[in-house]
Amino acid sequence: MVKLKSGSKIPSSSVIIRFPDCDPFGHLNNSRYIDYFVNAREDHLRENYELDVYNAGGVSWVTGIQHIAYLKPVFLMEKVWIESQMISYNLRHVTVEMRMLNEQKSKIKSLLWGKFFHIDLSTKKSRNHSEEFMKFFEKITIPVEQSRFEDRVDFFRTAKSIKADD
């Protein structure tokens, strides 16, 4: 059903920020960051793992919790990269970290942690992941050292390679 197609546990894709998604100052509107992140993750799942969340055998995932940090502004017509990686999972949910980076992948612009709950589409209720999904998650999960979102944001603010600050 699902497999690691490209070999990448941290898929990425580029996107150009479009006019309808920006405020009058030419900055990406705060609410649109989430749309860019979620759309990228759906693409990453389909292209890298052959997992279509809209055709996954009567189950899917719904957003339960999101934490987002806006670290540097993103501007109209700017090319950015979005990376996503699963950082934890259990029987009922997965947590994914998504990072928006500048075109050179040298500065982090935004960070999102999303907790997605596994749902049975026929009952509209939470259900356990199958054994197949659990084995798959074990293969693709890359935990991070920080257990709190705020600590992860601080990590990127002070990291030497990919920094939030100049």
Give Rg (Cα) of the chain.
16
Q: Would 3 be classed as within a structural domain?
A: no
Q: Would 37 be classed as within a structural domain?
A: yes
- Rounded to a whole number of angstroms, the distance between the first and last alpha carbons of the chain is 44
Q: Would 39 be classed as within a structural domain?
A: yes
CB atoms within 10 A of CB 105: 15
* Domain encompassing residue 131: 12-158
Return the ∠ at Cα 12 (arms to 18 and 95), rounded to 5°: 100
Q: Would 7 be classed as within a structural domain?
A: no
**pLDDT one digit per residue (tens) for the chain, 166 residues:** 565 555 689 999 999 999 999 999 999 999 999 999 999 999 999 898 888 888 888 999 999 999 999 999 999 999 999 999 999 999 999 999 999 999 999 999 999 999 999 999 999 999 999 999 999 999 999 999 999 999 999 999 987 656 665 5
Q: Would 62 be classed as within a structural domain?
A: yes
pTM of the model as a whole: 0.91
* Residue that the structure tokens 């979005």 belong to: 82
Count structural domains, the chain. 1
Q: Would 35 be classed as within a structural domain?
A: yes
CA distance linking residue 10 with residue 141, whole number of Å = 9
CA distance linking residue 16 with residue 99, whole number of Å = 15
Q: Would 140 be classed as within a structural domain?
A: yes
Q: Would 163 be classed as within a structural domain?
A: no
CATH number of residue 122's parent domain: 3.10.129.10
